[in-house]
């Protein structure tokens, strides 16, 4: 997570403070324990989870290829090892989870970190909010499909992923609003 924080730490503004105070954390203490206990197992299946998730995601939104412009294969023959930029995203995602899972008791830190990542997605990667929603759903489905977890634990993962995606979108909306202020 260091990379994006390094780039934007001096831009953490009061709006992020306000949001992190206002935002309800939708995960109970019991769910935090379930998430932390299962991460090691889920992490070992992370490539399979993301592989199937990205496959579905690309079928729904083939134009995402333009965002990951180094993609070198046709959609029909798509595999993760042939798509270095997607694989890089899988690692970025995994690192974010490493940091979030370790920090689940530090709500403010998680919220500001993910909002900053969201801002970057708009300003540096040109990602739109719709793609975030569908990726989050595909990852949650990938977890249900590839990892054997108790239902309560699966629900905790879905809640966490939805929460992170919502924060990412808040960051993207803030970045859009900042651009509008700049151009006025």
Residues of this chain that bind ligand HEM (CB under 6 A): 3-4, 64, 67-68, 88-89, 92-93, 96, 117, 120-121, 125, 127, 131-132, 135-136, 164-165, 168
E strand map for the chain = none
What token pair was written down for 166?
A: 């919502």
Closest distance to ligand HEM from the beta carbon of 161 (Å): 7
Compute CA distances 30 → 33, 37, 40, 150, 165, whole Å.
5, 11, 17, 13, 21
Q: Which is nearer to ligand HEM, 90 or 153 (CB)?
A: 90
Looking at beta carbons only, is 34 or 139 nearer to ligand HEM?
A: 139
Assigned token pair, 134: 């569908």
Which lies closer to ligand HEM via its Cβ, residue 93 or residue 155? 93
| Minimum gap (Å) between residue 9 Cβ and ligand HEM | 12
Cα dihedral: 129, 130, 131, 137 (round 10): 110
**Shortest CB 68 distance to ligand HEM, Å:** 6
């Amino acid at each position: 997570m260091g990379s994006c924080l390094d780039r934007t730490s001096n831009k953490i503004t009061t709006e992020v403070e306000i949001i992190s105070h206002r935002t309800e954390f939708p995960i109970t203490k019991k769910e935090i324990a379930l998430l932390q206990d299962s991460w090691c197992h889920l992490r070992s299946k992370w490539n399979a989870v993301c592989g199937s998730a990205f496959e579905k995601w690309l079928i729904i939104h083939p134009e995402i290829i333009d965002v990951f412009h180094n993609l070198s294969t046709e959609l029909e023959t798509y595999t993760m090892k042939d798509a270095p930029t997607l694989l890089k995203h899988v690692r970025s995602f995994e690192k974010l989870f490493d940091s979030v899972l370790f920090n689940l008791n530090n709500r403010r830190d998680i919220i500001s970190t993910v909002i900053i990542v969201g801002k970057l997605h708009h300003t540096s990667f040109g990602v739109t909010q719709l793609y975030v929603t569908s990726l989050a759903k595909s990852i949650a489905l990938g977890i249900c499909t590839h990892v054997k977890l108790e239902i309560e634990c699966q629900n905790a993962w879905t809640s966490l992923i939805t929460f992170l995606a919502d924060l990412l979108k808040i960051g993207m909306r803030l970045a859009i609003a900042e651009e509008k202020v700049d151009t006025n």
